[in-house]
């Protein structure tokens, strides 16, 4: 996570009306040169200022399209760091991608560090060589990862994936990726163990026997092979990285049980249906009625019959907006758990930070005096990292065409 200096009090102590009014003024000054992107997990206070909303990859793709169609100079990504990196890689080089708060990282992405990944790769291959393994390890990284991890995966013949296309990417890797389909293949899945495990299970792999878990924290504490045994590695069809989403890990199997019990008590109404994101643990996904990407959840609820009731296992802000929209059609939506399942790092992006960025782009000091415009908090992916990361992204997009979708 990067460090973000504290904002001047002029921003932190401004009331909501002033913030909203001044943000609107700055946006008008910048005109078509500015596009603001708002992720689904953002608060209502921020999302209302967004020109485009969606998931991280969808937003990056939409922004890149807009940049090609009009003279955009600045993309402000109201999301987290890895999302801004992807937007930078997919957008024209002359466009500056800005993250309003540099400390808005992703805990899952941070669980897979480049040096740890290199060490794991070497360690795994040394052990497999000892075992006489003559096949290949193909890496897959969830798009919720740093550009450095995407670059590692791209350079080693692997692909990115989203939660909506993980099945296709997994099948591609299991069949040899861009190489021979006759090779013995093991898949290294980064950084979300739950999406990897759920995808492997859907693919027909017995994850209780043929999925091994590599935990870099254990390696750093002196345990060999990230806690895996040689036997586990030998039997593994998929090697899962011990990462997870800090939001979706809060949903548990007993929350689904509680919803089932609630349905039984309310027998005069339609039973609750449970729909969850595949970043949830397998035990939760197995008990849910449906699981799928953010876009799948939005589409499913959007097409739900009036009178139906849905308990949704994903981020709090998104579920709140979904509940309000669904209520207009007579559809009831609630969050699966009563706990505050917020993306707290996403929450670092707020109206004060957004106005602070806009003031600098407009050449305004905190006191309102004019000065030379500057571009703060620009996110830039350059050199070999950019080229190799684009290899992984391009493989995913080729595999997913024409139905490219979301995280």
Average pLDDT of the chain, as a whole number: 94
What is the spatial distance between Cα 404 and Cα 149, in angstroms, rounded to a whole number? 21
**Angle separating helix axes 147-155 and 383-400, nearest 10 degrees:** 70
pLDDT of 145 reads 97
Confidence of residue 81 (pLDDT cuts 50, 70, 90): very high
What is the spatial distance between Cα 163 and Cα 144, in angstroms, rounded to a whole number? 10
Confidence of residue 406 (pLDDT cuts 50, 70, 90): very low
> Which two structure tokens, joined as six digits, stand for 265?
């008590």
- Residues 353-374 have pLDDT tens digits of 999 999 999 999 998 899 999 9
- Residues 155-187 have pLDDT tens digits of 999 999 999 999 999 999 999 998 766 789 999
What is the spatial distance between Cα 80 and Cα 144, in angstroms, rounded to a whole number? 10
- Residues 14-58 have pLDDT tens digits of 999 999 999 999 999 999 999 999 999 999 999 999 999 998 898
pLDDT of 364 reads 95
Q: Is the pLDDT of residue 401 over 80?
A: no
3-state class percentages of the chain: helix first, strand second, coil last, to nearest 5: 50, 15, 35
Please tell me whether residue 138 adopts helix, strand or coil conformation.
strand
Please tell me whether residue 205 adopts helix, strand or coil conformation.
coil
> Which two structure tokens, joined as six digits, stand for 150?
């995407």
- DSSP per-residue letters across 22-34: HHHHHHHHHGGGE
pLDDT of 179 reads 79
Q: Is the pLDDT of residue 3 over 90?
A: no
Report CA-CA distances (Å) from 268 to 262, 263, 271, 272.
11, 9, 9, 12
pLDDT of 1 reads 62
Q: How would CATH label the architecture of 248-335?
A: 3-Layer(aba) Sandwich (3.40)
Q: What is the average pLDDT across 206-233?
A: 95
Confidence of residue 402 (pLDDT cuts 50, 70, 90): low
Q: Is the pLDDT of residue 97 over 70?
A: yes
- Residues 57-77 have pLDDT tens digits of 989 999 999 999 999 999 999
In degrees to the nearest 10, what's the CA dihedral of 217, 218, 222, 228?
A: -140
What is the spatial distance between Cα 77 and Cα 47, in angstroms, rounded to a whole number? 11
Percent of the chain with pLDDT over 70: 97
> Which two structure tokens, joined as six digits, stand for 230?
């040689």
> Which two structure tokens, joined as six digits, stand for 20?
């909203």
pLDDT of 404 reads 44
Q: What is the average pLDDT across 178-197?
A: 91
Q: HEC states along 231-258?
A: HHHHHCCEEEECECCCCHHHCCHHHHHH
List all residues 6 or more positions away from 165 whose beta carbon is below 8 Å from its beta carbon.
396, 399, 400, 404, 405
CATH topology of domain 9-105+345-376: Rossmann fold (3.40.50)
């Amino acid at each position: 996570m990067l460090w973000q200096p504290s904002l001047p009090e002029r921003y932190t102590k401004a009331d909501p009306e002033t913030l909203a009014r001044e943000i609107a003024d700055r946006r008008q000054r910048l005109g078509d040169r500015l596009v603001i992107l708002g992720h689904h997990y953002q608060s209502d206070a921020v999302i209302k200022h967004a020109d485009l909303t969606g998931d991280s990859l969808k937003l990056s793709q939409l922004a890149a399209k807009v940049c090609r169609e009009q003279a955009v100079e600045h993309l402000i990504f109201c999301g987290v760091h890895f999302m801004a990196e992807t937007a930078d890689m997919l957008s024209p080089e002359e466009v500056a991608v800005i993250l309003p708060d540099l400390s808005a990282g992703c805990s899952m992405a941070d669980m897979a560090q480049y040096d740890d990944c290199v060490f794991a790769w070497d360690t795994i291959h040394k052990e497999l060589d000892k075992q006489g393994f003559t096949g290949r390890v193909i890496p897959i990284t969830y798009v919720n990862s740093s550009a450095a991890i995407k670059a590692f995966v791209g350079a080693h013949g692997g692909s990115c994936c989203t939660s909506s296309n993980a099945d296709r990417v997994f099948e591609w890797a299991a069949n040899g990726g861009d190489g021979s389909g006759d090779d013995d293949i093991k898949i290294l899945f980064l950084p979300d163990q739950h999406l990897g495990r759920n995808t492997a299970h859907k693919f027909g792999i017995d994850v209780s026997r043929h999925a091994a878990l590599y935990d870099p924290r254990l390696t750093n504490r002196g345990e060999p092979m990230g806690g895996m045994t040689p036997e586990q590695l030998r039997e593994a069809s998929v090697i899962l990285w011990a990462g997870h989403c800090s939001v979706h890990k809060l949903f548990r199997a007993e929350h689904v049980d509680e919803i089932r019990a609630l349905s039984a008590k309310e027998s005069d109404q339609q039973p609750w249906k449970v729909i969850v994101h595949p970043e949830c643990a397998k035990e939760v996904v197995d008990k849910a009625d449906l699981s799928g990407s953010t876009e799948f959840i939005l589409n499913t609820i959007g097409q739900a019959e009036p009178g139906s009731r849905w308990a949704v296992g994903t981020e709090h802000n998104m579920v709140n907006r979904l509940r309000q929209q669904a209520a207009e059609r007579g559809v009831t939506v609630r969050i699966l758990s009563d706990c505050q399942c917020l993306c707290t790092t996403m929450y670092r992006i707020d109206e004060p930070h957004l106005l602070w960025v806009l003031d600098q782009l407009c050449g305004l000091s905190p006191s309102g005096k004019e000065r030379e415009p500057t571009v703060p908090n620009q996110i830039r992916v350059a050199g070999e990292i950019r080229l190799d990361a684009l290899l992984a992204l391009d493989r995913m997009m080729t595999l997913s065409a024409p139905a490219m979708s979301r995280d």
